[in-house]
Chain A
Amino acid sequence: MREVSYNTSRSKAAYLFIAPGSAIVICLILYPIVQTAIMSFTYWYLVMPKKGHPFVGFDNYKDFFGLTQFPQMVKVTLIYIVAGVLGKMGAGLGTALLLNRKFWGRAVVRAIMIIPWAMPTVVVCVLFMVALDPTYGMVNAILLDLRVISKPIPFFLKPDLALVAVIFVEIWRYFPFIAVMLLAALQGIPQELYDAASLDGAGVFRKFARITWPWITPVWYIVLILQLVWTVQEFELVYLITRGGPNFGTQIIGVDVYLNAFRFFKMGTASAEGMFLVLFSLIFAVVYFGFIQKRQETV
């Protein structure tokens, strides 16, 4: 699909379109972001305050990198991002393709698909925290009853299992968003393209590669980078289920940001961590968008 633009003499009309949106974003969102960046370089320890929040240079960042569990946090965060995003995008794409076909009961299935996304986060977390417990959780009870396992699976006792559990919850909870977006894109594909391709003798895979994929590519790339950027900051889901445990096994950076900001009142360090995540996302975005540009040039 081509990048389109009108005659530059018409560009004045553009400002009318973008004005309301930009105004809201700049006034309400940009200012706090800039403030956060400033906070990451100043002294912001709420419970032992210093007058005027003096500038401290990179001290907050050093504090963050100097955390004993820093290497563990980075490792866990990376695993979480890679596994989570792969799982979500894959499941989302698969579900969207599945639901794009006509079949009996399609509306019902589409409605069901929304449920993981529609449940408030606090509920999802409480549910999994209770259901996966080795002593009284229903999941283990059912598996034991069906004799699939002989001993309860200690989900929250082993760091690896806990990580698997929260990654599964992350995928389960957010893949409907991707599926809904991709489905919306798929719905715009005219049936004639597929019919023509069938006449030409194209199989399923070729239809996908030549028709489906190029059509959903714009939405796909946007959703992918959004998922990456959002997963990097994830905190509520993991915190409410495992609180970062056991033994820092699920302590993704987002959880640490929350603990520093709201628990320990070390807003400076928390801001530094936040800025670190922003920087990571920006660097990643540069690579990402460069890659997309190249692909679009070769198409």
Chain B
Amino acid sequence: MSRRKVIKRILFYLVLVIVCFVILFPFLLLFSYSLRTSNEIFSLKIKFIPRNPTLQAYKNALLTYAVGGSTFRTWILNSLMVCGFATVSSVFISSLCGYGISRFRFFGKKPLLFIIFLTQTVPWVVVSLPFYIMISRIGMVDRLSSLAITYLAILTPVSTWLFTGFFKNIPLETEEAARIDGCSHLGVYYRIILPLSVPGISAIALFAFVLGWSDYLLASIILKSVENWTIPLGLTSFQGEHHILWAEIMAMSTIVTIPIVVLFLYLQRYLINLMAGGLK
């Protein structure tokens, strides 16, 4: 290898290491905090590597902590169900919608695009009250299904818009060739667009899942009973009026981060396998 290439390589890895460090450092702080007792976290001379590391916080959070029968198992299951539904349905519906917008001209296109944009500009803190009034009138309060549908409704405009961006890079010729061969619009969508957009789909699916996984505002508004709690609600319950289970929060947080990372690692591979037979 030439000298220039070697220097380039070294620089590349240097930047990489710095970036990784900046990303990881807070997470390592979190992990370090989770290996202590809650009161130790406020020691005056705290060290990065704990003097007496303990898994007590993990044991408490995972095995003993319960609020009226609701444990972390409940929260994770609820979150998985809600996020799973919201992700799958929103990806499906918004990719359809995005395809319609990016490939067709139709009456009402400009207003639709405007509405899509409008939904992103509105702060949910304020809209949540009329939204709550609306759903309480139709009896949708305190149900996980309502939360799942709400996430779907919120994700659809953004995902649609993002999909139009990804679809723009797919050349029209392939589609036109397929249509000449007698393929229907839906078939073009299914056989050509989807397989070619796997990176985009996995990115948007990840976005949808993360939104549901970490949302606190809407979950706290729609859900009430403790058996319906999702993960963010469960985590906030660690904050009592005058005591906070700091170590347990930190411990739970390290655990709930893992599913997302795993999802990201395998989602793309899974989708590629799913669509393996799609390309002509």
Contacts and interface: CB of A to CB of B under 8 A. Distances in A.
Contact of A109 (B16, B104, B122, B189): B16
Given A36-B122, A136-B46, A230-B120, A25 B157 contact: yes
B97 A22 contact: yes
B26 A4 contact: no
B254 to A, nearest CB: 9
Given A39-B130, A117-B210, A17 B100 contact: yes
Contact of B94 (A21, A141, A172): A21
Interface string B135-164: 000000000000001101110111011101
Interface string A30-60: 1111011001000000000000000000000
A73 B68 CA distance: 41
B42 A136 contact: yes
Contacts of A282: 118, 121
A122 B100 contact: no
Chain B interface bracket (under 10, 10 to 19, 20 to 34, 35 or more): 35 or more
Given A184-B200, A257-B126, 16 more contacts: A2-B172, A5-B103, A11-B104, A13-B185, A18-B96, A18-B106, A33-B118, A35-B134, A36-B129, A131-B26, A172-B23, A177-B207, A181-B207, A185-B169, A233-B121, A254-B125
B206 interface: yes
Interface in B185-210: 185-186, 189, 196, 199-200, 202-203, 206-207, 210
A111 B260 CA distance: 9
A226 B261 CA distance: 24
A44 to B, nearest CB: 9
B53 interface: no
A111 B23 contact: no
B168 to A, nearest CB: 4
Nearest to A171: B22
Contacts of B120: 226, 229-230, 281
A31 B169 contact: no
Given A4-B102, A141-B45, A115 B236 contact: no
A123 interface: yes
Given A123-B30, A127-B26, A130-B33, A185 B207 contact: no
A237 B100 CA distance: 35
B105 to A, nearest CB: 4
Contact of A184 (B125, B157, B202): B202
For the complex of A and B, 7 pairs with smallest distance between CB atoms: A17-B100, A21-B97, A35-B130, A118-B260, A274-B126, A14-B104, A281-B121
B278 interface: no
Given A11-B104, A25-B157, A183-B199, A116 B26 contact: yes
Given A14-B100, A20-B96, A145 B30 contact: no
Contacts of A83: none
Contact of B104 (A10, A27, A145): A10
Contact of A29 (B19, B119, B252): B119
Contacts of A2: 172
A127 B29 contact: yes
A261 B122 contact: no
Contact of A235 (B41, B105, B125, B235): B125
A257 B125 contact: yes
Nearest to A124: B26
A113 interface: yes
A122 B172 CA distance: 45
A136 B44 CA distance: 5
Contacts of B124: 233
B169 A218 contact: yes
Contacts of B41: 130, 136
A82 interface: no
A175 B123 CA distance: 20
B270 interface: no
B143 to A, nearest CB: 14
A211 interface: no
A233 B124 CA distance: 8
A172 B20 CA distance: 12
B26 A184 contact: no
Contacts of B116: 25
A98 B13 CA distance: 10
18 contacts: A11-B106, A14-B106, A25-B157, A33-B118, A33-B122, A35-B127, A107-B265, A118-B214, A119-B256, A127-B30, A131-B33, A180-B203, A183-B199, A215-B169, A230-B120, A236-B217, A257-B126, A277-B122
B231 interface: yes
